[in-house]
Amino acid sequence: MPLAQIHILEGRTEEQKKRLVEEVTAAISRSLGAAPESIRVLLYELPKTHWAVGGVSMAEQAAKR
């Protein structure tokens, strides 16, 4: 039972997340020969204040733009 865990920033639409799950499932199925119904995909949406690059949160970076 393959398990993919994906961390993304908040703000994607439900349709974008649905497409991501479908495409990741298809890629795992193709590459491993696993049945799609055996594949688990977990999405973790993080607030922009909880994701930082170079010591600066993505929320701070967005505010500067």
Tell me the pLDDT tens digit for each residue of 32-45. 999 999 999 999 99
Spell out, as residue ranges, where the chain has pLDDT lower than 50.
none
Q: Are 47 and 8 in contact (CB under 8 A)?
A: no
Residue 5 tokens read as: 């865990």
Whole-angstrom distance, CA of residue 35 vs CA of residue 32 = 9
Residue 26 tokens read as: 């298809």
Task: Please tell me the predicted confidence (pLDDT) of residue 41.
Answer: 98
Between vectors from CA 4 to CA 51 and to CA 33, what angle results, nearest 5°? 155
CATH superfamily, with its number, for domain 3-64: Macrophage Migration Inhibitory Factor (3.30.429.10)
Task: Please tell me the predicted confidence (pLDDT) of residue 10.
Answer: 96
Catalytic residue among 1, 2, 35, 51: 2
Domain boundaries along the sequence of the chain: 3-64
- DSSP character at residue 55: T
Active site residue 47: no
